[in-house]
């Protein structure tokens, strides 16, 4: 059996998220796909996989770029001039290589999608860029800074009105014969 196909539609439906994206703040769509087995009292997590889709505006090119990150490997999904096309790239169905296996227990997939625009880590990246440190935006090495700096950034994120949404869906239980 192949893994599930995951798709997220209408992720840019709100005016606020479109405004933030157009203002240059990246939108991050973090997918977590899990395979669970049903137990008599407790369900067990069998396998999991995570990946990201990131959309950001490139001011010099007047275009939005959408990149999928799986195991820290970027795969460009394209550059677009219209947000509707960005929406289509984000909604692109992705087969997740998380295969089910034969067992006496019922299995199900659960998908969690966390959408973040203007996160604290994005503000860290912005700080580094403003200081002239030209590092990849997804380097993974972040300077935690001082508690005061983190507190200021958290306040700035709230004042600027960053977006954070979370969605969760699961399949019906199934068995592999």
If the chain, 177 residues long, is cut into consecutive pieces of 10 residues, what is the mean pLDDT of each piece?
89 83 87 95 96 92 92 90 93 94 95 80 55 46 44 47 80 93
Q: Which residues contact 59 (CB under 8 A, 6 or more apart)?
A: 24
Listed in order, strand segments (DSSP E) in the chain are 5-6, 27-37, 44-58, 63-70, 73-80, 94-95, 107-117, 163-170
Is the whole model's pTM more than 0.85, yes or no?
A: no
pLDDT of 65:
95
Delimit the domains of the chain by residue range: 5-118+163-170, 119-160
* Distance (Å, whole) CA 70 – CA 161: 28
Closest to 12 (Cα-Cα) out of 31, 27, 24:
27
């Amino acid at each position: 059996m192949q893994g599930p196909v995951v798709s997220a539609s209408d992720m840019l439906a709100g005016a606020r998220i479109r405004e933030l994206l157009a203002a240059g703040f990246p939108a991050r769509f973090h997918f977590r796909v899990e395979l669970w087995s049903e137990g008599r009292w407790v369900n067990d997590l069998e396998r999991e996989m995570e990946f990201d889709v990131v959309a950001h505006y490139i001011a010099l090119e007047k275009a939005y770029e959408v990149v999928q990150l799986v195991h820290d490997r970027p795969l460009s999904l394209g550059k677009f001039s219209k947000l509707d096309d960005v929406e289509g790239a984000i909604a692109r169905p992705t087969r997740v290589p998380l295969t089910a296996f034969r067992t006496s227990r019922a299995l199900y997939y659960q998908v969690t999608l966390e959408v973040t625009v203007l996160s604290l880590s994005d503000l860290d990246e912005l700080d580094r860029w403003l200081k002239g440190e030209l590092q990849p935006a997804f380097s993974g090495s972040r300077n935690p800074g001082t508690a005061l700096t983190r507190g200021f950034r958290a306040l700035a994120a709230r004042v600027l009105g960053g977006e954070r949404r979370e969605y969760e869906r699961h399949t019906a239980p199934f068995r592999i014969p």
